[in-house]
Structure 1
């Protein structure tokens, strides 16, 4: 008589058969190795073979085709080719190579970059096109020449600077940008207020039994930076770090399509029935007023008043920066009642992603009470994560928000749930291109 053996695979029962399940099978309740998978992993071929070889031929053709007629000054052309090239690299790269890139190159590159910024190496290197030796750069910066030569070699290996000979280097676009504070502040900024929180995320998630973070005063940020302060309280207590953060954010937004550009949002649709003494736009939590200043430059003849709102210390700083005379600066905490009633539009740029849904609901409810039905709008300038093919900048930012704010970048469905819970409805989501913040247009429900 033949014995019948029962196999439990992924919760289903099978008879006298085998199936792959994480390299093991269960026979009569006992875990048995799946010999085929064990052999594949044991000889190392998986780790040293191309990641997705079946995609390589098509991606090679795509890169070659796109490269023939690419206009590098056209953002869409350049970014399409860049994404195809990245996809080709990921397909060609072996798991072993990816592991070393994740574990070695990224952390060490960051250390090299921050060291170079602190030494002003990039400012010296970028004075002109002339190649400079490691010895020259060490003399100019006061660094140990042996140490600096090691740093420079890694920066060249990672494409930050260009190697022109033995221990000799020339500037690139990246290194030239790193000679400017607006861009090089990003590196100490990350070290001083972001990265330790992100690195603490796995331990924090494990402690919380892998629940979605929801408390901005008890998340990975506090663990990583050994503080009881919320991120924004930490910024207030450390003004130099806050300045670095503001520079980083301004650099992040540079060169990206803006909702007020022609062809993005229908800006003139806001103008009818707005008189000169009416409030056209309230920038809620608008920081230094960069967005309103941009709006005034691009729409000089727009009717009505522009009002910038933020906390007292921020408004004081904005006034020092000499806002355009037509922008009114007002102290306001967006968790309290909105004092400007019946404005045409209440605008928020990257405000709600800093906060949990409960906090966002409070912010939005404060606006609802000030809106005029059939006239007022809420314009939310934020990321909308697509259901598929999300962009890496957006998914990276989502995990940063999870770690350091216990907040999130939201999907379209999430945005609908959130605004509707506050008494609003989304009338349209305006988008320009992948990875760029959309404009979510809302009215009273």
Structure 2
């Protein structure tokens, strides 16, 4: 079993890389021996810096890279980019006869991974990886080992139908993913999903560790008229428990709302938390709360479904008093990180949904009649915070 690498060993590996590469004879490239040793040292640094929670998520989401490569090979995207110093997503989509949003989502992963260069918002150029993947031998391997038929059958449109997506094709169902998961025969899978939701943040910091929640949302002396916080579709209450641990002196009351079977598995909630079953699409949350908190909820649904959910939340909010707090990825329009871009493709596969850019979030929330108080970025590559009001 590999032991943890210490800070000193990480620094030693970094020093070894500098030494190996700086003592090479003049020439266009490094010797093979120096290159391999430097690469081993670089892997040592990664092992020292990467936390196990993040490393496991990285492996779990790594198929998104191959998915992006395979579809782009099938659409001849690498060859199109190779022939242009700079080319737009719109031009690529037109040449490849594919949806522009789909092209942007695929290339968001490939630019984050370094396989394509990002030249601006929706602008791309080749790297040495692009040139290699364009080669006949590389494409032969990719096409032989990885099939990519579903998007081809749908004309390379951006998936948005929750009843007819990749997940439905794989499981031979027309039920939306969450409905399929709650079918009794799939109980074990649904239980595993809810357990994953408890830890899906990995080691990335909780919003409560960097966002001044009390100062902004319920400062000293505020008039507590009703519920302090409602965790909307909050699963087993893991985020609500974090909130209570951060602010143990807040009397509440607090509400956890989700489907009844999920709430039944939430066993460790204190008395000041009420569990209330509800349907995200049919029922408004409890009326008049100070904070309506939604973590990783809206990224599960397309814009039409999100508008329906937001209308339900709006119906419960009090103007000038209530806040909607969304804890979700806010993708940058350029220079998106690899994890967020991979997560976006997994949402495409599992739910025919997406992670949204700041521009897309603004469009969605303003369409729902909500005013954005602010969008706040976390340290590192975690989920951001969006605060909205009526």
Q: TM-score, normalised by structure 1?
A: 0.55
Among 235, 249, 269, the alignment partner of 1:323 is 269
**Alpha-carbon contact 2:285-2:313 (below 8 Å) kept:** no
| Structure 1 position 264 matched with structure 2 position 211 | yes
Among 341, 346, 349, the alignment partner of 2:292 is 346
Over 3 Å counting, the alpha-carbon distance change for 1:339 and 1:352 in structure 2 is closer
Among 152, 155, 160, the alignment partner of 1:206 is 152
Among 248, 252, 258, the alignment partner of 2:196 is 248
C-alpha distance in 1 between matches for 2:285 and 2:246: 27
Among 225, 235, 243, the alignment partner of 1:287 is 235
C-alpha distance in 2 between matches for 1:422 and 1:74: 39
**Alpha-carbon contact 2:324-2:387 (below 8 Å) kept:** yes
Match of 1:187 in 2: none
C-alpha distance in 1 between matches for 2:152 and 2:388: 37
**Alpha-carbon contact 1:274-1:280 (below 8 Å) kept:** no
Shift of 1:243: 1.9
C-alpha distance in 1 between matches for 2:378 and 2:372: 17
SS in 2 for 1:241: helix
Match of 2:247 in 1: 299
Over 3 Å counting, the alpha-carbon distance change for 1:250 and 1:322 in structure 2 is closer
RMSD: 3.9
C-alpha distance in 1 between matches for 2:314 and 2:224: 23
SS in 2 for 1:287: coil
Gaps of 5+ in 2: 1-28, 30-38, 59-112, 118-126
Gaps of 5+ in 1: 1-52, 54-62, 108-198
Equivalent residue pairs, number? 280
C-alpha distance in 1 between matches for 2:225 and 2:387: 23
**Alpha-carbon contact 1:276-1:303 (below 8 Å) kept:** no
Shift of 1:362: 0.6
Q: TM-score, normalised by structure 2?
A: 0.62
Larger Rg over CA atoms? 1
Shift of 1:265: 3.7
**Alpha-carbon contact 1:260-1:267 (below 8 Å) kept:** no
Q: Deviations over 1:284-334 (max 9, x none)?
A: 00000000011101111224311100011111222xx23122211111112
Q: Deviations over 1:106-151 (max 9, x none)?
A: x9xxxxxxxxxxxxxxxxxxxxxxxxxxxxxxxxxxxxxxxxxxxx
SS in 2 for 1:429: strand
Shift of 1:240: 0.6
Match of 2:165 in 1: 219
Matches within 5 A, 1:390-405: 390-405=336-351
- Greater relative contact order (Cα < 8 A, sep 6+): 2
